[in-house]
Structure 1
Amino acid sequence: MNIKSLFAATMLSLSVCALPATASAEEVFDAPVAARQAKETGLQTAIFAGGCFWGIEGIFSHTRGVTSAVAGYHGGNSGTATYRQVSSGMTEHAEAVRVTYDPSVVRYDQLLQILFSVGADPTLHNRQGPDRGPQYRAAIVPVTAEQRAVAQAYVAQMERSGVWDKPMAVKVEKHRRFYEAEANHQDYMLNNPNSGYIRRWDAPKVEALQEHFPQLYRARFRTG
């Protein structure tokens, strides 16, 4: 059992009162404003991976302009696209989130800035927060040529920015089929606000979104 699953299972037997009432995000970065802005019209879809999909889905569910955020798996095949199998780290999938958004409200490059400011550390290889394994890698999965060009430019810009003192580990991956995760993993933060894992690792990310991107923060969840 991976750390996230073990933590969740353990917390089922513990009182939530045993947990600290508040916790700070692991780290917030001043990710740069993109030099290359995305040029898109109409509703668009993008896929992002940044560790546990519960938190990434939670962040984008609170982002203005996002009309849907769905937790799932990207990078492997349908026969192994289950939580139990992906958690082994042997299936080539990453826990990922498929985001549908209105670029007249929030651009693709702004979603990238949000992801790497409050969601994921782009310098970590095959891990985020307490979770370890290739299924927790940070990855950008463009679904259009415009997204790919913007993503590649943004990774290069982050490398040059001096914000991080380590090389970029995040990859721009080839778009493969996205598999929706099981129903109990959808809207996990919304449905499990007192989960020990959510309170410690993911709720602080949403708090950081509100603090650092107030113009793009939405208090109510937009569920997928």
Structure 2
Amino acid sequence: MTPTHKPRPLLALLAAACGLLGAGAAQAAETAFIIPPPAMDQTTTAAATEKAVIAGGCFWGVQAVFQHVKGVTSAVSGYAGGKADTANYDTVSGGRSGHAEAVEISYDPKQVSYGQLLQIYFSVAHDPTQLNRQGPDSGTQYRSTVFPESDSQRKVAEAYIAQLNKAGVYSKALATTVEPLQGFYPAESYHQDYLVRHPYSMYIMVNDIPKVENLAKTFPDRYRDKPVLVGDKG
């Protein structure tokens, strides 16, 4: 997009990009899981901002989804599960760092709860039944993992996983793990806001644009068209 072009609403832009792929992309956009909300959730706290760290495959698409969620003030791609000295893309890509590609979400708990974020995570951000892979990406760095920031978050996550397995809303048990958060390390700048900066990348069009479309269709009351970008804070 050149500076002389009038900006279009992002969902319209994404739909146009997805349209370039024809029926295949339309089919991919129908893969959201319709799931019940969590029976257990965190109570509203006095804190103005809370954080949640989750992993579900390539962080480009997960970041993009939560950048469109009302109440989210920041969504940063990064690494969690390993040590600081291995928190870089070249090392993590080798699959032996212990890290997962993760996203740190900052949110206003008065607008959106931790449980509601997890509902979006399990429904449209990724497929939680896949073990150590998402779509074309495989390896432990692409695992489905929740990294709780507190004991309260841990209890909510574990209860929700048990609830969803018992409800049988998926064809098989969830592969999602709950792991202690040792630290979150932001990814390199070129990974941030990747979908917005590269909407016509074939990978983005096939794997990630359908996730944002599913968010808008499945959670219209939670969706906002203008994403909150890491670049806006720079």
Q: Unpaired runs of 5+ in structure 2?
A: 1-16
What's the C-alpha RMSD, in Å, of the aligned pairs?
A: 1.6
1:148-183 CA-partner distances (Å, limit 9, x unpaired): 111111011011011012122101111111111000
Q: Which position in structure 1 is the counterpart of 2:162? A: 156
| Structure 2 residue aligned with 1:5 | none
The range that moved more, 71-80 or 92-101, is 71-80
TM-score (norm 1): 0.89
1:221 aligns with 2:227: yes
Structure 2 match to 1:44: 50
4+ residue segments displaced more than 3 Å: none
Letter of the 1:172 counterpart: V
Write the distance in 2 (CA, Å) between the matches of 1:142 and 1:26.
29
1:29 counterpart (23, 29, 33): 33
Query: 1:25 offset after TM fit, Å?
Result: 3.1
Show the counterpart of 1:200: 206
The aligned counterpart of 1:76 is 82
- Identify the residue that residue 153 of structure 2 maps to in structure 1: 147
Q: Secondary structure at the match of 2:170?
A: coil
Could you tell me the percent identity over the aligned residues?
50
Query: Distance between the aligned counterparts of 2:207 and 2:39, measured in 1?
Result: 30
Q: State the SS of the aligned residue for 1:20.
A: coil
Aligned partner of residue 151 in structure 1, secondary structure: helix
CA contact (8 A) 1:29 1:118 kept: yes
Equivalence for 1:9 = none
Match of 1:209 among 186, 204, 215: 215
Which residue in the other structure is 1:86 paired with?
92
Task: Report the equivalent of 2:143.
Answer: 137
CA contact (8 A) 2:30 2:214 kept: no
Structure 2 equivalent of residue 8 of structure 1? none
**Deviations along 1:63-111, whole A, 9 cap, x unmatched?**
0000000000001112211111111111110000000001111110000
2:119 aligned partner: 113
Gaps of 5+ in 1: 1-15
Q: Could you say which residue in structure 2 is the equivalent of 1:179?
A: 185
1:192 & 1:167 partners in 2: Cα distance? 34
CA distance in 2, matches of 1:86, 1:31: 31
